């Protein structure tokens, strides 16, 4: 069945434009409530990031769920992974996050977790979509759901994050710049690191409903870099608006991306003899990481782009560690979804235990030069089906040999073909990427 509303990560769009309208979100809450209530009356936990539309959509979801007969527990501003945690901890029927992640304030979205803290299955999402098209019929008055607020949600989640590393771990003597993107981690992440002993310099912790992700956080690390250098901090940590991804920075202002963080965590587990199985990346994962894992004897597989697909492959293999270059890191031995704070804690713990710097921890992994070119197209096309493009791809792959790779894929959100070439020789990579982009453009 084709999805009408759900994408790979819930429902998202511009506020005031379908589907992100009050009436639709209330209907979505009711539809989800009707599907979930088939498992028996239960509760749904709702969290949100800091964008101004969150209050409005929170009320709409609460009304729809109550009309379907489900109780609601309101968490207030909470990172996306915190909602997954509370869905599981509260034995709820589901968790709902109101967030558009790294998008600007004028966008918003809704994503779901099941009672075990994992994203909803395709069958449940399709059942909800089917229910949306049915007339809204309320339960009887005595069966209407009730709403309550969890006043201690912030403190409980802070303690959960801290519990993901050994009890005797301390970050005393470490100066950390923490950039929360004026998003959902603003009142949580600085407290976590400070309570573990670090000296914390806070950035992006003054949300006003309109400034989430604006010139701050993981998408805009330049401000953090200047503060790291000026304050002579040891490390910088930047989260996105909903806290499910991060980037880190060393004392010299050098960015450490998701691939490098994944390498650090994997090697820490390998050396502690806690590496269970292999690691899952995506089609965009740097080839240097794959080669580093091959050298270390760690199995590695690629999933489609999106943390949903990384998680699916982890579950399929019974592995625990996966992630994306963008900074979504999934540690299934700690929690059920990508969690920026918990991933940062795993990295920091390893640095403290070994008394090494961030850059040193990933020095054995070489990121290969990568060139990405977005080629506009006027009509939908599959680059894999055109012989002239495939001949060019084969020629590029032959020239790269085992020292690089080529990836062409259609964008899922824009009329673009993304041409990516990476390899050990940056000059060759750039030349081949431009040649392939020209070939795709001529064929568009």
Give the active site residues.
101
Calpha distance 153→98 (Å, rounded): 16
Cα–Cα distance measured from residue 347 to residue 391, given in angstroms and rounded to the nearest whole number: 43
Which residue's structure tokens are 């709403």?
147
Give the tokens for residue 399. Answer: 């020239």
Q: Which residues pair with 72 in a beta bridge?
A: 44, 147
Find where tokens 């979804």 sit.
337
Q: What is the largest CA-CA distance in the chain?
A: 71
| 8 A C-beta contact, residue 238 and residue 217 | yes
The distance of Cα 204 from the centroid of its chain, to the nearest Å, equals 18
The residue among 298, 332, 333 whose CA lies nearest residue 312 is 332
For strand 255-256 and strand 246-249, is the pairing parallel, antiparallel, or unpaired? Answer: antiparallel
Q: Name the nearest CA neighbour of 144 among 69, 71, 73.
A: 69
3-state secondary structure of 13: strand
């Amino acid at each position: 069945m084709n999805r009408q509303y759900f994408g790979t990560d819930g429902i998202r769009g511009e506020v005031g434009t379908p589907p992100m309208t009050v009436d639709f979100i209330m209907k979505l809450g009711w539809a989800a409530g009707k599907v979930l209530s088939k498992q028996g009356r239960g509760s749904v936990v709702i969290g949100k990031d800091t964008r101004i539309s969150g209050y409005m959509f929170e009320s709409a979801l609460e009304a729809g769920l109550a009309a379907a007969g489900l109780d609601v527990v309101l968490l207030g501003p909470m990172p996306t992974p915190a909602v997954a945690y509370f869905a599981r901890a509260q034995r709820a029927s589901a968790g709902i996050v109101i967030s558009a992640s790294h998008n600007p304030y004028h966008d918003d979205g809704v994503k779901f977790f099941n009672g075990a803290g994992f994203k909803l299955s395709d069958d449940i999402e399709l059942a909800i979509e089917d229910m949306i098209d049915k007339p809204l019929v309320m339960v009887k008055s005595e069966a209407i759901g009730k709403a309550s607020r969890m006043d201690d949600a912030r403190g409980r989640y802070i303690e959960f994050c801290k519990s993901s590393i050994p009890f005797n771990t301390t970050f005393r003597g470490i100066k950390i710049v923490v950039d929360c993107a004026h998003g959902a981690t603003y009142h949580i992440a600085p407290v976590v690191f400070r309570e573990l002993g670090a000296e914390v310099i806070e950035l992006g912790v003054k949300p006003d409903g309109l400034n989430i992700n604006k010139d701050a956080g993981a998408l805009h690390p330049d401000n953090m870099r200047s503060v790291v250098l000026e304050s002579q901090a040891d490390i910088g940590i930047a989260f996105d608006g909903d806290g499910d991804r991060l980037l880190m920075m060393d004392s010299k202002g050098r960015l450490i991306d998701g691939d490098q963080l994944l390498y650090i965590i994997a090697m820490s587990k390998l050396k502690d003899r806690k590496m269970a199985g292999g690691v899952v990346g995506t089609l965009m994962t740097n080839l240097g990481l794959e080669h580093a894992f091959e050298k270390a004897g760690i199995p590695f597989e690629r999933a489609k782009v999106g943390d949903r697909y990384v998680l699916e492959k982890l579950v399929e293999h019974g592995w625990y560690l996966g992630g994306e270059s963008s900074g979504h890191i999934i540690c299934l031995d700690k929690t059920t979804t990508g969690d920026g704070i918990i991933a940062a804690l795993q990295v920091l713990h390893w640095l403290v235990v070994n008394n090494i710097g961030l850059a040193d921890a990933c020095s054995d992994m070489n990121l290969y030069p990568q060139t990405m070119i977005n080629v506009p197209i006027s009509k939908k096309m599959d680059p894999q089906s055109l012989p002239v493009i495939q001949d060019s791809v084969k020629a590029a792959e032959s020239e790269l040999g085992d020292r690089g790779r080529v990836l062409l894929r259609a964008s899922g959100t824009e009329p673009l073909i993304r041409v990516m070439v990476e390899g050990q020789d940056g000059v060759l990579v750039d030349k081949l990427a431009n040649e392939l982009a020209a070939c795709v453009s001529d064929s568009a």
